[in-house]
Each structure stands twice: as structure tokens, then as C-alpha cells.
């Protein structure tokens, strides 16, 4: 099938089979990442495309939840280390420069 990557071995393969209704497997995210990183570059690129495309399938509620989590995380980072922040003036100046 175009746009899909099928991996037959390792943790990623088990996860794929589980998704297809086959043998049950519960790999951790770290295990999935480790297996995915073992793939050849072209297969990793196809997998990345598939994963990115799946983000377009999120509901409005899921988008809102994810952005809220991201905003909360960034806010906590700034609270923990205010020196990491940038002034709005700097941000807008850099944005204008990039648009030139």
C-alpha cells in the first residue's frame, strides 16, 4: 500500500501486527523508537511521513488538548528558568528578518 511502511520484525513489527488484530504486544515508546531508528533511512523517512500525516487526522478537541499541554510545558520551563525567554521585540525582529 502506498504511504504505509510494513515492518515484519522486532517491536515495531509486533505493534503493527497488534494494530492489525494479530498477536498482542505492548512495547514501550522507547522500544518503538529504538526499533524505528534501526531502519534504513528511506524506511525511516516513509515512517516519519506516515506519522506526520496521522497528525492531520486529529480531532479539534485533540489538537486543543495537545496545544494546551505544550503551552503548559513551555510555561513551566519559563517559570523554572526565566533567562530562557525572549522579548517580544526580539521575536518579531527575527521573524521580520526571516521574511525578507
Q: Are residues 40 and 19 in the same domain?
A: yes
From first to last of its 100 residues, the chain has per-residue pLDDT tens of 444 444 444 444 444 444 544 444 678 989 999 999 999 999 999 999 999 988 888 888 998 999 999 999 999 999 999 988 889 999 999 999 999 9
The count of structural domains within the chain is 2
Closest listed residue to residue 15, CA positions, set 5, 6, 2, 26: 26
Instruction: List the domain range (segments joined by +) for residue 17.
Output: 10-55
> Could you tell me if 14 and 30 lie in one domain?
yes
Residue 25 lies in a domain: yes
Answer positive or negative: Cα dihedral of 33, 39, 40, 44: negative
> How many C-beta atoms surround the C-beta of residue 96 within 10 A?
9
- The pTM is what? 0.40
**Maximum Cα–Cα distance across the chain:** 55
Amino acid at each position: 500500500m502506498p504511504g504505509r511502511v510494513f515492518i515484519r520484525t522486532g517491536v515495531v513489527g509486533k505493534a503493527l501486527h497488534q494494530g492489525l488484530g494479530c498477536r498482542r504486544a505492548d512495547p514501550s515508546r522507547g522500544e518503538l523508537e529504538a526499533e524505528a531508528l534501526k531502519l534504513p533511512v528511506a524506511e525511516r523517512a516513509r515512517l516519519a511521513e506516515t506519522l506526520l500525516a496521522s497528525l492531520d487526522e486529529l480531532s479539534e478537541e485533540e489538537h486543543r488538548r495537545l496545544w494546551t499541554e505544550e503551552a503548559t510545558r513551555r510555561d513551566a520551563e519559563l517559570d523554572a528558568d526565566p533567562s530562557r525567554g525572549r522579548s517580544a521585540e526580539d521575536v518579531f525582529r527575527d521573524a521580520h528578518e526571516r521574511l525578507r
